[in-house]
Amino acid sequence: MKRIWVKNKKELQKLIKEYRKKGYFLVTYGYTLVELEKGNEFLIISCFRK
């Protein structure tokens, strides 16, 4: 499992698009957290809260 932290929602949306192009599927989508899956690889992208 890999975890990536981003500064804001705009960066979060950008990374979602990039990883979906690479074949990752959206598992969970929330305002500040996204979980993606590709085979047995899991990726979590989180947004820092202010």
Domain count, the chain: 1
The pLDDT of residue 31 is 87
> CATH number, domain at 8?
3.30.720
pLDDT in tens, the chain (50 residues): 899 999 999 999 999 999 999 999 999 998 899 999 999 999 999 998 75
pTM: 0.83
The pLDDT of residue 48 is 86
Helix H or strand E encompassing 18: helix 9-21
CA angle at residue 21 from 19 to 23, to 5 degrees?
75
Provide the domain limits for residue 33.
Answer: 2-47
Neighbour count for residue 48 (Cβ, 10 Å): 10
